[in-house]
Amino acid sequence: MLIDSHCHLNLSHFRDDYREVVDRAVAAGVEKMVVIGTDPADSIRAVELAHSFPGVIYASVGIHPHESRGASEAVYARLAALAADEQVVAYGEIGLDFYHNHSPKEVQRREFARQLNLAAELELPVIIHDREAHQEVYDIIRAEGGCPHGGVIHCFSADYAWAKRFVDLGFLISLPGTITFPRSEMQREVAMRLSLADLLVETDAPFLAPVPRRGRRNEPAYVAYVAAKVAEIRGVTPDVVAAATTANCRRLFSI
C-alpha cells in the first residue's frame, strides 16, 4: 500500500470526477492521500474532501508563496481555526518560490517566517515549497528556530548535498513524478543516496505526471510509478519502497 503525500484534489482540475479519481487511487493500492491547502478557499476545500473520504483523505492548510501577498491576520486566524479540525495533519504548502515570483520576494520571506511560527504554535508538521530558493529556505527555517514537529520538503528539486542538509534539520524529502523524467539526474542521486527512512513519494497532482503518463493530468494513482522508479534506482522491490515511505508518512503526519 502507498500514500500520496502531496496532491491537489481540491483544484478545479478534479471538479467533475474527484470521486472516480479517489476510487482509481484506492484500486491502485494508494490507501491514503494528503490534499494540500494553498490559500483559504483551497484549504477549506481540502478539509471538506477529508470529511467526504474519512480515513482515506487528510488535509493540510496554509498559504502558498504564490499567494503570500494576500496574507493577513484575519486569514491566519481562519487557517488556525481550520487547523483545529481532526482531519488536518499538517501546515502548508508554505515556503519560497523565486522562479515564478508571483508575490514579491520580501513578502514571501516575511509570510514564510510567520507561517513557520504559526505551525509551531499549532503543533503541526510543515509542508515546504522550495523552488530556486534553497539557501533562503534553509536560513529562514534556522532563524525561526527550526520546525519542532518536523516537516517535508515537497517536490524536491535540489541536489543530494541540499537533501542531506535538510534531513539534518529534521526534514523528510519528497520525490515527485519528475524522478521518471530523463533529465532528473539530481533527483535520482537523492533517491539512491538518502536512507529510505528519509523519503516520501508524491504526485503533486494534477501537475508533473510521471512517465508513462507524462503530459496528461496527474492523479494520486500514479504515485505507484514514482515508488517503482525509486525502487528501480535503489535495486529493491516496489513493496520495499512502499512500506518505508508509507511508514514515514504515517509517522510525520500522525496518521
Q: What's the confidence (pLDDT) of residue 196?
A: 98
Report yes or no: 132 and 105 within 8 Å, Cβ to Cβ: no
Report yes or no: 91 and 36 within 8 Å, Cβ to Cβ: no
| Residue closest to 217 by CA, chosen among 7, 11, 16, 13 | 13
The amino acid at 209: A
The CATH code for residues 2-253 is 3.20.20.140
Q: What is the pTM of this model?
A: 0.97
Query: Which residue carries 508509507 as its cell?
Result: 246
The amino acid at 140: I
Q: What's the confidence (pLDDT) of residue 101?
A: 87
Question: What does the block give as the cell for 211?
Answer: 512517465
In the chain (255 residues long), the average pLDDT of successive 10-residue segments reads 98 97 98 97 98 98 96 96 98 96 95 98 98 97 97 97 98 98 96 98 98 97 98 98 98 97
Tell me the residue ranges of DSSP E strands in 28-149. 30-35, 57-61, 88-97, 126-131
| Residue closest to 10 by CA, chosen among 27, 25, 2, 22 | 22
